[in-house]
Structure 1
């Protein structure tokens, strides 16, 4: 009997979709097809690869009216936000636009009698293991530049959003990409690890948990495949004394609760200068009152259910632990289905928090945020660095020089000033500490999906 994987919808607990898992023979055949297709694809002129992948992007964007409700059913995001079309288009178009320059040979200075340059060669076979929280946005970070650079791609999508993988595959088919160059595989953890450890894979890009990243590294050990890992996060924000409090509050509420807090770079902890603390908290709570939980299929809903009940229970446990330790809950908004085991969890704001509480140090990945008073920049920096993660950090101030100075001391992959929860495709997307390794987007994203090759040619 064929084993299957089911999408259990957070909306009503029903089975939204069910698909058979690929078997060992299916996976081996897909790998063989990919290898064969890549041998020809790498020799297709770059301009033609850009055009073909651009058509794939066009086809994916054209499906958005169907994708939006699918996302609501699969992982709970409200339809009012229109899916991920805008971000997918921005990132994809940028990576297509910079491909020629990013992949151009790097000429070395003239040396009499020699021609010297470095090329960017495709790695070969790239496996993308994509997450459920932003199933299109995260995947395009590797799929688009990976294909353009001349690689073959195998996509293994999260079981919660496996229909996203089918949408990518359909877009590739409609765009006329060569057979085998992009394939979507429905695999379980064991088969994914077996594929990674097979020696047939040249690069793995994984977005997910820290523990998942460790399993990927273990599976790849000894294969010498390169890795791109975007793992956990506990992104901080610091509101300085000179911040525009209305602006900071409005944007930090969005950064904390958008997508039910299920964002890799969502804001999970906020530090506020003591002179601005009361005013900021008042404004933050006023803004947060409008972020109410409701049916994601209703166009008026701002916050939908979390993807799974277990994820919501983790946030409930962190919140309850903080309250037992002396924290104060301010929203305490209840929903009829906001009970243990349910994915329906309303946003919450905590004050009176400290760094003995897990809600301020360990990943929440849900709609809760702690706000803590600090004496000065130095204390803010110390607390922002008191975490095993380092993806993004935001500083809210009118003094951009101060933001850059503070940012230089923060252990993070991206420093924001007066914004948060956003990926600029012109900048590298990377993390440090337990957040992972490697980098996506920008020209560095291309370089991480290619192998440098030197040409040292002497004229006789």
Structure 2
């Protein structure tokens, strides 16, 4: 493992830095330079055992704290995360290629905001309520923490997706074992640094980067009581099968292939102004990105021209440069995967209106030109499979019934947008789209509202009050009439 100031050669278990069982760690490669950024420890199954045991030991005292006491701890944790926000954002951008203007929010300040949100939520919430029984007497209904949580997170939004699990779990009184993706192992240690500074009790949060095999071992570990996973649909299916067999609660936030439905009365300038944020955010490495653009026949040529011009003008470059709009992809394998989809689209006869390869002026880094395909049938592979890169397809439709049918003709159902100057029409169309979330004339996650998918996009919800519910188990205590 390479040695430099960013190296993280230990695991965070039981509130202490712990030497891993495995001597060999994982080199994290900087997406823009293809050079080693730093090395991270990789957890073995024995290390996973130790982390789960530490979380189990901490569970009793952590859950016994009053919600107000836990919230006080979380306030300090949030402050410690916020104090590191700018450095964390830059580190994550170096790891996965995210433009810094996006990373400062989603990797920098969002984690602290989420922790503070759930701290405030549990301060106000009642842990139990008394209900009159339909047959006389009364029932006390208590909400108890579900237990030790395995949080397994991906590389595309490493900080915010981890916080979407850590924050509600800790607020509910659970303890957590975080297993981040190897590609973004280094920034995951920020949670450990902040936990130490905030004085979180030992074992409440444990950070153990590891391989897929380590993650699979954690999922089936007998000391784990709930799994929270964000990642690909195939991996989610495998985790769901294990949790189903074990009767273990699981939250799965998986893939997407969202549609951006442009109506005949859409404000096309507004649509174009939001195209980067909605359809190409984080270099297209976003599960809810609206990569299928559906355009009405009357405006089709105009939409193709507008999308092409907008995408062609995007600035490709160093993710740490604030002028950059499209950075590199996370790895050589991801770049090659995306380029393979582009070649498949060409081979199927679809027209590339801009992009279509690796940018000639970027000699280092895993860059792919933002690419637009026109005249794409919704049955095409590039319109059906999650590419997870800066590739858009434009499909023509006749009337709104056909547009809704195309939008819903997908195995996924995570995001989507409707573009119209009539908000009532937008709401009516959003109601007809079978998806966990839909934006009208924009798309942005709301910290106070549930996020998640239907169909192959997953199970359960994160964020909002609904995001803490999976970390509780309801207990009913029955009393006779006096």
Q: Is the 8 A contact 1:123 1:449 kept in 2?
A: yes
2:462 aligned with 1:456: no
Q: Quick one: which of 360, 366, 374 aligns to 1:336?
A: 360
Q: Is the 8 A contact 2:378 2:395 kept in 1?
A: no
Q: Is the 8 A contact 1:41 1:150 kept in 2?
A: yes
Range with greater deviation from structure 2 (284-293 or 375-384)? 284-293
2:97 aligned with 1:41: no
In 1, Cα distance between equivalents of 2:281 and 2:411: 23
Corresponding position of 2:5: none
Q: Is the 8 A contact 1:127 1:154 kept in 2?
A: yes
2:467 aligned with 1:445: yes
Range with greater deviation from structure 2 (78-87 or 196-205)? 78-87
Q: Is the 8 A contact 2:30 2:96 kept in 1?
A: yes
Corresponding position of 1:197: 220
Corresponding position of 1:403: 426
Q: Is the 8 A contact 1:250 1:284 kept in 2?
A: no
- How big is each residue's C-alpha offset from its partner over 1:153-183, in whole Å with a ceiling of 9 and x where there is no partner? 1000000101122001111111111001101
2:148 aligned with 1:135: no
- SS of the residue 2:224 aligns to: coil
Q: Is the 8 A contact 2:352 2:374 kept in 1?
A: yes
Question: Which runs of 5 or more residues in structure 1 are unaligned?
Answer: none
CA shift at 1:236, angstroms? 0.8
Corresponding position of 2:268: 245
In 2, Cα distance between equivalents of 1:40 and 1:345: 50
Corresponding position of 2:32: 11
Range with greater deviation from structure 2 (166-175 or 318-327)? 318-327
Corresponding position of 1:320: 343
- Cα distance change on mapping 1:90 and 1:244 into 2, 3 Å: farther
Question: Which runs of 5 or more residues in structure 2 are unaligned?
Answer: 1-21
- SS of the residue 1:126 aligns to: strand
- How big is each residue's C-alpha offset from its partner over 1:388-408, in whole Å with a ceiling of 9 and x where there is no partner? 111011111122222232223
- 1:416-431 counterparts in 2 under 5 A? 416-420=439-443, 422-431=444-453
Q: Quick one: which of 105, 114, 132 aligns to 2:128?
A: 105
Range with greater deviation from structure 2 (56-65 or 110-119)? 110-119
- 1:124-163 counterparts in 2 under 5 A? 124-163=147-186
Q: Is the 8 A contact 1:390 1:435 kept in 2?
A: yes
Q: Is the 8 A contact 1:321 1:357 kept in 2?
A: no
Corresponding position of 1:258: 281
Q: Is the 8 A contact 1:345 1:367 kept in 2?
A: yes
Q: Quick one: which of 83, 95, 108 aligns to 1:74?
A: 95
Corresponding position of 1:346: 369
- How big is each residue's C-alpha offset from its partner over 1:236-277, in whole Å with a ceiling of 9 and x where there is no partner? 110111111110121123322221011111111110122232
CA shift at 1:223, angstroms? 2.4
- 1:112-127 counterparts in 2 under 5 A? 114-127=137-150
Corresponding position of 1:370: 393
- Cα distance change on mapping 1:103 and 1:146 into 2, 3 Å: farther
In 1, Cα distance between equivalents of 2:449 and 2:324: 32
- How big is each residue's C-alpha offset from its partner over 1:425-444, in whole Å with a ceiling of 9 and x where there is no partner? 22111111111111111111
2:64 aligned with 1:64: no
In 1, Cα distance between equivalents of 2:132 and 2:263: 47
Q: Is the 8 A contact 2:97 2:327 kept in 1?
A: yes
- Cα distance change on mapping 1:409 and 1:441 into 2, 3 Å: same
In 1, Cα distance between equivalents of 2:241 and 2:137: 43
In 2, Cα distance between equivalents of 1:19 and 1:206: 21
- SS of the residue 1:330 aligns to: strand
Q: Is the 8 A contact 2:450 2:466 kept in 1?
A: yes
Q: Is the 8 A contact 1:124 1:202 kept in 2?
A: yes
In 1, Cα distance between equivalents of 2:51 and 2:95: 26
In 1, Cα distance between equivalents of 2:130 and 2:429: 37
Range with greater deviation from structure 2 (49-58 or 341-350)? 341-350
- SS of the residue 1:143 aligns to: helix
Corresponding position of 2:325: 302
- How big is each residue's C-alpha offset from its partner over 1:163-207, in whole Å with a ceiling of 9 and x where there is no partner? 122001111111111001101012222222223212211110111
Q: Is the 8 A contact 1:95 1:425 kept in 2?
A: no
CA shift at 1:102, angstroms? 4.8
Query: How many residue pairs end up in the alignment?
Result: 458
